[in-house]
Amino acid sequence: MKQPKIGILPLVDLKRKSYWMLPGYMNGLLAAGGIPMMLPYTEDEGILKDFVKTCDGFLFPGGQDVTPSYYNEPRLTDADETCEPLDRMSVALFNEAAAADRPVLGICRGIQLFNVLYGGNLYQDLPTAHPTDTEHHQHPPYDVPIHTVEVLPDTFLSGIIGAGTYAVNSIHHQAVKDVGAGLIVQAVSEDGVVESVSDPNRAFLLGVQWHPECAFEKDPKSLAVFEAFVRACAPLP
């Protein structure tokens, strides 16, 4: 298998006016046999098209909240910041990748973005909109499972990590609410929150709400998610 080049959207630090990357995203892809590349922030259509020509797949990582106007809702909470320039880049790149049917993996903000782009919406703040005893925003260390999800049988995800109960880490305050048209639920948390979605009509589109980039060194199923993604991205010999 040729090593696929995988573009990772940048993480943006608004206070420092910079973009950066957590090593787990890159190291997870490296461990799975991919070549990760952090993309620069841009909304230039020509550059975005060139990204799609250069990269074999794209990872949409965690980050700021998706701006609620993208799912036609007013902002109901100031619990976390948004970054509309990153939203614009993410939407434009997602659309370019979809047109070329490039594989995409969404983690945390990534699954939320996918759901919004398929016409779904989000819980803007789980503690207030969906209060439960399940802890969705754990403290370090982040490679320790904090709650369970049920991976549904006969799904794309169950083909990667198996069906049944799976203990995951969790670092989020927003989540998928109403699932977008065309997405299929892959896993649900113990308190009913959608934790994974996929599009069966794409070569590879998977979103997970937990953080395999924090756990892949200890958890074989976290590594398996990266491995399945990298395999889908691998260019033909």
Burial 133-159 (b: 16+ CB within 10 A, else e): ebebebeeebbebbbbbebbeebbbbe
pLDDT tens digits, residue range 201-211? 999 999 999 99
Per-residue pLDDT band at 80 (split at 50, 70, 90): confident
Burial 27-66 (b: 16+ CB within 10 A, else e): ebbbebbbbbbbbeebeeeeebeebbeebbbbbbbbbbbb
Of the candidates 136, 147, 172, 211, the residue annotated as catalytic is 211
At residue 189, does pLDDT exceed 70?
A: yes
Whether the ω angle into residue 141 lies within 30 degrees of 0, i.e. cis, is: yes
Residue 117 near residue 180 (C-beta atoms within 8 A): yes
* Token pair recorded at residue 59: 């990872």
- Look up tokens 């403290």; give the residue: 139
pLDDT tens digits, residue range 161-175? 999 999 999 999 999
Per-residue pLDDT band at 76 (split at 50, 70, 90): confident
Give DSSP secondary structure letters for 18-60.
Answer: EEE--HHHHHHHHHTT-EEEEPPP---HHHHHHHHHH-SEEEE
State yes or no: is 173 an active-site residue. Answer: no
Of the candidates 55, 108, 214, 233, the residue annotated as catalytic is 108
State yes or no: is 211 an active-site residue. Answer: yes
Smallest CA-to-CA distance from 42 within 89, 84, 97 is with 89
Residue 197 near residue 115 (C-beta atoms within 8 A): yes
**Nearest-angstrom CA–CA distance, 194 and 207:** 10
Most confidently modeled range among 6-20, 72-86, 219-233? 219-233
Of the candidates 96, 195, 213, 227, the residue annotated as catalytic is 213
- Chain centre to alpha carbon of residue 91: 13
The H-or-E segment that residue 164 falls in is strand 164-168
At residue 78, does pLDDT exceed 80?
A: no
Q: β-strands 104-107, 57-60: how paired? A: parallel
**Nearest-angstrom CA–CA distance, 55 and 148:** 34
Q: Determine the topology of domain 5-233 in CATH.
A: Rossmann fold (3.40.50)
- 3 state DSSP class of 101: coil
Burial of 188 (0-12, 13-18, 19+ CB in 10 A): middle
State yes or no: is 214 an active-site residue. Answer: no
Please tell me the predicted confidence (pLDDT) of residue 157: 98
Q: Where are the domains of the chain?
A: 5-233
Please tell me the predicted confidence (pLDDT) of residue 236: 73
- Chain centre to alpha carbon of residue 165: 20
